[in-house]
Amino acid sequence: MATFSDVPSESFRLSMLINDKRYRAYTFQFIALLLLIGAFSYLGYNLVKNLQSAGLNISYKFLGDPAGYDINQRLIEYDNQSTHWRASLVGVLNTLLVAFLGCITATIIGVVVGVLRLSNNWIVSKLMSVYVEIFRNVPVLIWILIIMAVFTSVLPQPRDFRGANATASMVADSFAFTGRGFYSPAPIFNDGSMVVVVAFILSIAGMFYYRRYAKKALFERGQMLPTFWPSIGILLIPSILVFFVMGQPISLEYPALKGFNFQGGIYMRASLISLWFALSIYTAAFIAENVRAGILSVSSGQSEAAASLGLRPNRIMNLVVLPQALRVIIPPLISHFLNLTKNSSLAIAVGYMDLTGTLGGITLNQTGRAIETVLLLMAFYLTISLSISAIMNVYNNSMKLKER
């Protein structure tokens, strides 16, 4: 210490920026920073200059102009006279829809496969390895295209449902599975249906409350209450009662073949289904590997201990292994969700009008505003991805080992 104490008193010389170990690192970092700033300003300057000399100025005015094209799947009101901005929003919602559905199914499939891959049953575990390897090692675009091609060529088209000698028919008169997508009955909410909906939401809350209560009873009094059947009862019985008391305010609209297509009911397009399915099984293969790694990270002593307490294998998995494994599983899960969301931009391959298809596809093409749309596209995907990360991080923090 004593030898160092007189160092600051030594006067600062410029050469010390290079020769003195204490400053040298800063010097180089500073130079690197300058170079970086220089490189970026060069690119930015070039961009602006080039744009100017081509007579293209960055302007987002086109977003207010009528788009002029139609979009098949619209979650919000939209027609061809709506603005490009509105078309982008339709695209964002379509992206979010397929990403949301995809993340859920990918997680479910991934967890099941990951667990089964560790099964003691040789056939099951080998089958799962084959699944993982096949789906993980073929590009997702190929899967999307294959699934769409199989979908449209294997399933009957609406015209096969027509006429006296139709080759295809609806399932239970209410579902139609066609190469253009699935049609199912849609609920129609009439007067008084709000009461039923509210009753149902309250039932959901009631179910969770009951489960909390049952857990508490188990922890505090060691009393094991049944959960499965009571949960279902709480969930359904009040709603069904209210439904009949209110005079059946919710009815169903059935799809029916009219003209070229089925009309009415809920229509899930072939493009959505194949994209959703392809993204799910592809991402699930990665998730399955994570789940397997997570489970293997829990030391076998844990499950042996649980087994010696007399727990049955699936309880060991649910109560002992998975909760601990989750800490290992969640962080990479976040990045799989992000990947799935970004992979959904391959949607145009099957004609699904996601954000890349509307804003980054038709709008870009019809307006020629490549830079503006691509920047906006980046901003949208960045926002979506960061939001997913944020949400998942909150969940991750709540699952983290709480140190006492």
Partner 1 sequence: MVHCSGNYPTVLKSLPLWGTNFCLVYSGQAEHQEEVKMKKSVLLGALAVTGLAAGMASAGTLDDVKARGSLNCGVTTGLVGFAAPDANGEWQGFDVAVCRAVAAAVLGDSSAVEFVPTTGKTRFTALASGEIDMLARNTTWTFSRDVDLKFEFAGVNYYDGQGFMVPADLGVTSASELDGATVCIQTGTTTELNLADFFSANGISYEPVPIETNAEAQPLYLEGACDVYTTDASGLLATRAAFENPEDHVVLPEIISKEPLGPLVRHGDNGWGDIVRWTLNALIAAEELGVNLGNLDSIAGETKNQEIKRLLGAEGTLGEMLGLDAEWAKRAIAVGGNYGEVFDANIGPDTAIGVERGLNAQWTDGGLLYTPPFR
Within positions 140 to 169, which residues make up the interface with partner 1, using CB under 8 A? 141-142, 145, 149, 152-153, 157-160
Instruction: Give, rounded to a whole angstrom, the gap between the first and last alpha carbons of the chain.
Output: 38
Residue 280: name the closest of 109, 116, 142, 150 by CA: 109
Among 113, 270, 273, 329, binds partner 1 (CB under 8 A): 270
261 binds partner 1 (CB under 8 A): yes
How far is the C-alpha of 253 from the C-alpha of 251, rounded, in Å?
7
Q: Does 29 bind partner 1 (CB under 8 A)?
A: no
CA dihedral 167, 169, 175, 181 (to 10 degrees): 10
Rounded to a whole number of angstroms, the minimum distance from the CB of residue 39 to partner 1 is 8
Residue 371 lies near partner 1 (rule: CB under 8 A): yes
- DSSP reduced 3-state for 369: coil
What would the DSSP string read from start to end of 59-90?
A: --GGGGSB-----S--SS---TTSBHHHHHHH
Within positions 165 to 224, which residues make up the interface with partner 1, using CB under 8 A?
179-180
367 near partner 1 (CB under 8 A): yes
HEC secondary structure over 125-183:
HHHHHHHHHHHHCCCHHHHHHHHHHHHHHHCCCHHHHCCCCCCCCCECCCEEEECCEEE
In the block, tokens 């829809």 appear at 97
Residue closer to partner 1, measured from CB, 218 or 370? 370
User: What mask of x and - would describe binding to partner 1 in positions 79 to 108, judged by CB under 8 A?
Assistant: xxx---------------------------
Question: Applying CB under 8 A, does 134 fall inside the site for partner 1?
Answer: no
- Residues of span 42-71 touching partner 1 by CB under 8 A: 42-43, 45-47, 49-51, 53-56, 68-71
- C-alpha–C-alpha distance, residues 210 and 365, integer Å: 55
31 binds partner 1 (CB under 8 A): no
Q: Long-range contacts made by residues 52-56, C-beta under 8 angstroms, separation at least 24? A: 56/371
| Helix 370-399 / helix 84-117 crossing angle, nearest 10 deg | 40
State which residue, 174 or 261, has the beta carbon closest to partner 1: 261
Of 19, 30, 38, 138, the one binding partner 1 (CB under 8 A) is 38
Contact between 378 and partner 1 (CB under 8 A)? no
Name the residues that contact partner 1, by CB under 8 A: 35, 38-39, 41-43, 45-47, 49-51, 53-56, 68-72, 79-81, 141-142, 145, 149, 152-153, 157-160, 179-180, 258-261, 263, 270-271, 346, 348-349, 351, 353, 357, 360-362, 364-368, 370-371, 374
